Amino acid sequence: MSETEPLLPTAVRQQLPSRSQVQSKLPSKSQRIQVSQSVGALKAGKFPSQDQLSRMIDVVLESDVLKSGGGVNSRTARLGEQGTRISEDLKNVLRAVKKWGEEKNGDDLLQNLFHNASQIDVDVEVGKS
């Protein structure tokens, strides 16, 4: 083997996706920004609005992460029957959470409840009757 000879055999190199194919599978810049802003807000102790939650769920559902049968080079290409079923179930759970949130929490009442509850300062005396 020489220094100019590729490490991967030709048959393997031909199966690898091209740079443009890989880039087309990545989330868009705006999607990455939305997700990073939401993660930053969570780390800062803030709760995302229902609209932000719905957009994050959409990004995950549209990404290659949970796409079953995405082809030989997809992240889920080697999933077996059980793995594919779990992936589909997870997508169904995410869709149900999104639908419930949009129908029942469109006005962000849950986020307000959690925020207000985290701000409560209560003095409790223990041991007195």
Model pLDDT for residues 43-82, shown as the tens digit of each residue: 887 888 899 889 889 988 887 777 766 666 666 667 778 8
- What confidence category does residue 6 fall into, taking pLDDT thresholds of 50, 70 and 90? low
Buried b (16+ CB within 10 A) or exposed e, 52-74: bbbbbbebbeeebbbbeeeeeeb
Residue 123 has pLDDT above 80, yes or no: yes
Which of 30, 8, 21, 14 has the alpha carbon at shortest distance from 74? 21
Model pLDDT for residues 87-114, shown as the tens digit of each residue: 899 999 999 999 999 999 989 999 889 8
Task: Give the pLDDT confidence score for residue 76 in this predicted structure.
Answer: 66
Task: Give the pLDDT confidence score for residue 73 in this predicted structure.
Answer: 60
